[in-house]
A = this chain, B = another copy of it.
Amino acid sequence: MIVAFVGTAGSGKTTLTAAFGRYLKENGHSVAYANLDTGVRKLPYRPDVDVRRDVTAWELMEEGYGPNGAIVESYDRLLPKVSAYLTEILKLEDERDYVLLDTPGQMETFLFHEFGVRLMENLPEPLTVYLFSPDILRKPEDFCFVRFFGLMIELRLGTTTVPAMSKVDTVERLEDYRKYLDDLDYLNSRLRLEPSMQGLLAHRMCSVLPELAPPTRILYVSARTGEGFDDLETLSYEHYCNCGDLT
């Protein structure tokens, strides 16, 4: 089965890919890794597929591109090779229990560039894990934003997407986050108290969320402690087997 880690730069995709891969291997599974990030220098795992064999962001910077331009240009150059990457990933999926996809450092490169969209659309039922770091959650509206962002990824990539808070080992009171993320009614009752336009919009958006998507389990993971890896493994397996929904 194929599991793709998607999230903003700094959300912990690469570290989690490596740590979850190790966990799976320790539990008797065969694992392959695909690195889709042209801008990463060192990887904490040995990739079976690596887009940097074709192009890296820093060689483009030597050609004169700025960092943002280099990243976009690198995926422009990868686009004609998307079928070759697909073939390789599909072959790995045949041979191994898990193929873990470590996506570009900047999430938008994957969501907005045709390379990411075409790759994901043509893979058989990949599970997308949308990683977000607890430090982007400062007020009730932010929790609504994150819940919706998972849906936006699903809409864009056409893949089942499960939101996962990363770095939970760095959080002091995880239960405070969980109240807002797991219990939409609670979040909505708090959003109702926000008098701003932003609060009003968040309240309206979170109120329609149950109409838009079946209830989704949120994962809480730590690459450092391995917390939540059992949940992620179970969820991947359920998704792969189509044994049920992801609640």
Chain A residues at the B interface, C-beta cutoff of 8 Å: 8-10, 37, 39-41, 57-58, 61, 66-72, 105-109, 112, 114, 135-136, 138, 141-142, 144-145, 148-149, 151-152, 154-156, 158, 196-198, 201-202, 204-205, 208, 211-213
Contact = CB atoms under 8 A, between A and B. Distances in A.
A156 to B, nearest CB: 5
- Identical copies of this chain, number: 2
A67 B59 CA distance: 11
A88 to B, nearest CB: 24
A148 B71 CA distance: 25
A198 B145 contact: no
Nearest to A196: B158
Contact of A67 (B10, B71, B149): B71
A9 B154 contact: no
A151 B187 CA distance: 19
24 contacts: A8-B108, A8-B112, A9-B68, A9-B108, A9-B109, A10-B69, A39-B66, A40-B66, A61-B67, A67-B70, A68-B71, A68-B106, A106-B106, A112-B136, A114-B135, A141-B155, A141-B156, A145-B152, A151-B201, A154-B201, A155-B202, A158-B196, A201-B213, A204-B211
Contacts of A114: 135-136, 138
A158 B72 contact: no
B152 A156 contact: no
